[in-house]
Amino acid sequence: MADLFTHILFGYVLGIVLSWRYEWISYPFITAVMIGSTLPDLNRIDLVLPSDLITILLGVPFTWGPLHRVGGTLLVVCIGALLVPNAYRRIVFALLCTGAGSHYALDLLLYKPSGITSPLLWPFITHGIAVNGFYLSSDRWPVVAAMALAGLVWLIDRRVMLTDSPGQ
């Protein structure tokens, strides 16, 4: 799943760069950004637990699709923020949202033959946005670019910013 790996790498890059600006963002918080960048893809639970099976078990129509929309992701982020101690909830909420935002930014750049994205911003915007797109989800160059960027940021973080101390 090169697409998921790309999202994680961009979450890493975003978290590291934010840690240069805000000293309170330590490595566990960078992990929160990386986790947030994967949350919109929770709709892929459908590969393990198909929606049809859940519909049969619950007796009501069910789909995992809304998890890949801003509304569903916001719900998951709120649940994730509740799982940490009170002192960190606002920070974790903001960082999970930052990571999820990076995911949506990358997804808006996907090429769609129709020129219209899926309604990613539901429930705030109920239709797709007209975007030409730059890459297909099956393309390999975005993951190569993400790996190169992550490697560069890692190198700068270790050599220039000197943040390789174990206390960080």
- Which whole number is the average pLDDT over 48-64? 94
Among 42, 53, 65, smallest CA distance to 119 is for 65
pLDDT at 1 over 60: no
What are the distances in angstroms from CA 26 to CA 18, 37, 167? 10, 17, 9
- For the chain, give the mean pLDDT: 91
Cis preceding-peptide flag for 123 (omega within 30 of 0): yes
Q: pLDDT tens across 70-119, in order?
A: 999 999 999 999 999 999 999 999 999 999 999 999 998 888 888 888 88
Predicted structure pTM score: 0.89
Residue with more model confidence, 56 or 130: 56
**Region class of 135: left (phi > 0), else alpha (psi between -120 and 50), else beta:** beta
Q: Which two tokens stand for residue 126?
A: 């109920």
State the distance between the two ends of the chain, measured CA to CA, in whole angstroms.
30
Can you give the pLDDT at residue 2? 59
Residue pair 108/118 in contact by the 8 Å Cβ criterion: no
Of the chain, the percentage scoring pLDDT greater than 70 comes to: 95
Rounded Cα distance between 79 and 6, Å, is: 24
What are the distances in angstroms from CA 35 to CA 41, 68, 122, 162? 11, 14, 21, 24
Phi, psi of 67 (to 5 degrees): -70, -20
Can you give the pLDDT at residue 72? 94
Rounded Cα distance between 50 and 113, Å, is: 27
Rounded Cα distance between 79 and 60, Å, is: 23
